[in-house]
Amino acid sequence: MPLVLFTWSEQITVCTIALVMLGLLLHPGRETAQLGPVQARVRRLASVVAFAGVPAYWLSRRYSTFESPNVWQYAIPILIASIAVALYAVVGSPRLNPRPLLAVDLTPRTLWSFGPGWWFAGWAALTGLLVTTVVLAGLSSSTDDSGRHSVIAMQMGSGQASTLFFGWFFGLPVLAALILLTASALIALWRIARPAVPSDPSLRDHDRAVRRIQTRTVLSLASGAVAFTLGATWTFIARASAMAASISGPDGIQIHLGTSFAALGTPLTVLGLLLMGCGVALLLLPLLQRRRQPSSAVSAPEHAESVAATQ
């Protein structure tokens, strides 16, 4: 029962943080361009699919026990986000105007050309933190009775106390899922950057604005899944840090023992919940991002057709 109560309180807290973060992310303004109807629908679908990893993770926790832990539990959000990003890469990121361009801008383009550097830096930082967490937690873990690196043990004289912990048992699937997500995101960014950019200034500005939206969608889904998983691992480690035990000394005095990282319990819990809420907000951002009303920028495809017809 205590675990169920903790799960519900965690979910309520994460959802509250996510609503606040969504308000902050949606506040700056509307998008500078409007996607085509197919691209917009695929974008919303990818957001819904990626967000499905959050309830799937919480549901898997209900069926994970100390005796029979779910090895893929913490990899679920990243695996489902990988599917969403792959879907968006294949269907949602074609060039706005598929017909051959009469003149193109030959300025070199890279995967990082259609977004500010801090977007990519944030994604890289979250990924690096998750990898570091997996490695450090894995090195600190111990084996259980079944030989799985899924507990942390505390020596108590001739015996020991142990509790479930984010060891290699949970961490290696997360690393495998992270490789898959990174590959999917890089392929999606390559598909966005690869097509030629129109040389006409009016068409070029609109084309770049659309690619900026597509790049933000990919990074939002990838960063959201990583942030949520990183927060979930930190809260897991925080719960393990609360393990305590006591033994009787030679003179009958009770000696209370705790984990070496017990002081990190509260900071990890707070930061973990914030990261989980931020992750949920990023996963839902492509679904709820406000669309720009039709204007002169939206008429760029029509202008492209008229230019092609006159030449």
Summarize pLDDT for 235-252 with one digit per residue, the tens: 999 988 776 555 555 555
Radius of gyration of the chain (CA): 24
Q: What is the DSSP letter of 247?
A: E
For β-strands 197-198 and 104-105, DSSP reports them as antiparallel
Domain range for 117: 2-244+254-298
Taking 50 as the pLDDT cut, the residues of the chain under it are 1-3, 5, 96, 98, 293-311
Tell me which residue of 211, 223, 135 sits closest to 181, measured CA to CA.
223
306 within domain boundaries: no
81 within domain boundaries: yes
pLDDT at site 248? 54
57 within domain boundaries: yes
d(CA 155, CA 177): 33
d(CA 310, CA 116): 36
pLDDT at site 20? 93
211 within domain boundaries: yes
What tokens does 249 get?
A: 């000394």
Helix (H) or strand (E) holding 174: helix 168-193
Number of domains in the chain: 1
Crossing angle of helices 117-140 and 168-193, rounded to 10°: 160
pLDDT at site 294? 47
Q: Check if the beta carbon of residue 119 is closer than 8 Å to that of residue 127.
A: no
Which residue in this structure is represented by tokens 């068409």?
Answer: 203
pLDDT at site 64? 74
309 within domain boundaries: no
